[in-house]
């Protein structure tokens, strides 16, 4: 897995100096993800350079080579990422100042007793009188963190904090990380059920397949509040949005197409499920795991293998994590290919195009962040008890409609995206029987 390495280099403030530094980095086969001038005077500029790498030893070699340049000095690695995480990324604050005894008596004892009794008499008033209408539990057991795998719940906490921070920033929600140190699905289900009264919705995150399916299904059945496993449904929403854009751009009828999904983990099965619900004529799923093939058939898809998917499908989506899995000779003329594994796709988009694909892209455009903040906000605003397929499809259409220019989907940092998604989800919830 590629992660950012940040180095600090001081270069002479004259023409060509920075170029020589970047030439050394390029010669080492490293990609510059960011370049920022930290300080500058009439003699020197200090640069913070973000590199994408999966080999720290390669960065060591680059630093040694940079140190030999006459026009540069290596200041070392930056701990910018760690600085931004120090103390955590989220906090809870009072929504109103408590500066007087009168205010204290209102928000705490004895005044709060009146509110408690009002909720006891009418539990629905909790949505009005507490944070429940904005509160989302972000739950993991640490068994499938990012591309890192089973690293445990504590090591996954920075990801859950990140999800919560983005919910707050983009949708005005209060996300609360919940770590469950348990791999038994039934115990996870019981823990989440027990804490659910504190929240208005449950966001399941980074829980490995197939346990994630059992956990989500049971919680949806048990709890009277929205529950969503983002790895499945958040991914599926953004993939559907991207496919709507690719199909429109290519002049293809998505619902009338044959779509193949390669890789039937949590994301792959979520994608198949949503495409079937959207009305795609045929959905083929390929995976080496027989139980995964059984699952895709249970969803209304067809079990297949890699060769059959590439031979029969008009649209191909891949979420396998296997770099280079799709060979150029497998590409059929006119196919749409979304190779979504990060950091290395199953086939590079330019290679797929050269091999005959009508349209191709990779996982850099498909970001769950486009979906989940607005989905949860819309569900909470509507007072929905569950997140339906209609709500997910409405979210995908809203994302698709906001794409401009050559982009398949809009930037996840555009606030209007999350507002529109929330509105679309809320409207879909209101139309539910």
Per-residue tokens: 112: 């709060």
- pTM for the model stands at 0.90
- Give the pLDDT confidence score for residue 237 in this predicted structure: 98
- Give the pLDDT confidence score for residue 256 in this predicted structure: 96
In the predicted model, residues of the chain with pLDDT beneath 70 are 1, 433
Report d(CA 285, CA 223) in Å as an integer: 31
- Give the pLDDT confidence score for residue 1 in this predicted structure: 65
394: left (phi over 0), alpha (psi -120 to 50) or beta: alpha
Q: Where in the sequence numbering do the catalytic residues fall?
A: 108, 163
- Give the pLDDT confidence score for residue 148 in this predicted structure: 87
- Give the pLDDT confidence score for residue 197 in this predicted structure: 97
- Give the pLDDT confidence score for residue 57 in this predicted structure: 83
- Give the pLDDT confidence score for residue 78 in this predicted structure: 83
| Domain-wise residue ranges, the chain | 3-85, 101-225, 232-433
CB-neighbour burial class of residue 376 (10 A; exposed 0-12, middle 13-18, buried 19+):
buried
Q: Scan for tokens 């569950």, then name that residue.
A: 386
Radius of gyration of the chain (CA): 24
- Give the pLDDT confidence score for residue 83 in this predicted structure: 86
pLDDT digits (tens, 9 = 90+) for 297-343: 999 999 999 999 999 999 999 999 999 999 999 999 999 999 999 87
- Report helix, strand or coil for 181: coil
Note the CATH architecture for domain 232-433: 3-Layer(aba) Sandwich (3.40)
101-225 and 232-433 share one CATH topology? yes
- Give the pLDDT confidence score for residue 4 in this predicted structure: 83
- Give the pLDDT confidence score for residue 414 in this predicted structure: 95
- Report helix, strand or coil for 114: helix
Report d(CA 98, CA 412) in Å as an integer: 36
Give every CB contact of residue 422 below 8 A, 6+ residues apart in sequence. Answer: 171, 373, 374, 375, 377, 378, 381
Count the Cβ atoms, other than its own, within 10 Å of residue 186. Answer: 12
- Give the pLDDT confidence score for residue 403 in this predicted structure: 95
Give every CB contact of residue 174 below 8 A, 6+ residues apart in sequence. Answer: 92, 131, 134, 135, 136, 164, 167, 168
Contact 147, 137 (CB under 8 A): no
**CATH pick for 3-85 out of 3.40.50.300, 2.60.40.10, 3.30.70.260, 3.40.50.261:** 3.30.70.260
Superfamily (CATH) of domain 101-225: Malic enzyme, N-terminal domain (3.40.50.10380)
- Give the pLDDT confidence score for residue 402 in this predicted structure: 97
Per-residue tokens: 282: 């045929």
């Amino acid at each position: 897995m590629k992660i950012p390495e940040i180095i600090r280099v001081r270069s002479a403030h004259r023409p060509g100096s920075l170029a020589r530094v970047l030439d050394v980095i390029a010669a080492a086969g490293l990609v510059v993800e960011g370049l920022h001038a930290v300080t500058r005077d009439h003699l020197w500029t200090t640069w913070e350079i973000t590199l994408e790498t999966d080999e720290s030893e390669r960065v060591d070699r680059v630093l040694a080579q940079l140190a030999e340049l006459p026009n540069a000095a290596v200041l070392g690695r930056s701990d910018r990422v760690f600085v931004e995480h120090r103390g955590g990324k989220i906090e809870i604050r009072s929504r109103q100042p408590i500066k007087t005894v009168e205010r204290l008596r209102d928000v705490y004892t004895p005044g709060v007793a009146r509110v408690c009794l009002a909720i006891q008499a009418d539990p629905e008033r909790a949505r009005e009188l507490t944070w429940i209408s904005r509160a989302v539990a972000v739950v993991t057991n640490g068994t499938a963190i990012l591309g890192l795998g089973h690293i445990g719940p504590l090591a996954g906490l920075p990801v859950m904090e990140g999800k919560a921070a983005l919910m707050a920033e983009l949708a005005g929600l209060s996300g609360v990380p919940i770590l469950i140190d348990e791999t038994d699905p039934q115990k996870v289900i019981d823990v989440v059920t027990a804490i659910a009264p504190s929240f208005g919705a449950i966001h399941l995150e980074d829980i490995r397949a197939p346990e994630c399916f059992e956990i989500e299904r049971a919680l949806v059945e048990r709890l009277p509040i929205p529950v969503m496993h983002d790895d499945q449904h958040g991914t599926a929403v953004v993939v559907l949005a991207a496919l709507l854009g690719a199909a429109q751009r290519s002049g293809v009828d998505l619902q009338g197409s044959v779509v193949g999904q390669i890789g039937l983990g949590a994301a792959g099965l979520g994608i198949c499920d949503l495409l079937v619900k959207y009305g795609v004529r045929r959905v083929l799923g390929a995976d080496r795991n027989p139980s995964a093939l059984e699952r895709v058939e249970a969803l209304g898809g067809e079990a297949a293998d890699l060769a059959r998917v590439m031979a029969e499908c008009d649209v191909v989506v891949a979420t396998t994590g296997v770099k280079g899995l799709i060979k150029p000779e497998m590409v059929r003329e006119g196919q749409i290919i979304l190779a979504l594994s990060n950091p290395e796709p199953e086939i590079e988009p330019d290679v797929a195009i050269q091999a005959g694909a009508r349209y191709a892209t990779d996982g850099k455009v498909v970001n769950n962040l486009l979906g989940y903040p607005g989905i949860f906000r819309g569900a909470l605003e509507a007072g929905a008890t569950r997140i339906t397929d209609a709500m997910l499809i409405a979210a995908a259409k809203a994302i698709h409609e906001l794409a401009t220019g050559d982009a398949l989907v809009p930037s996840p940092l555009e606030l209007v995206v999350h507002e529109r998604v929330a509105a679309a989800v809320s409207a879909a919830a209101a139309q539910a029987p």
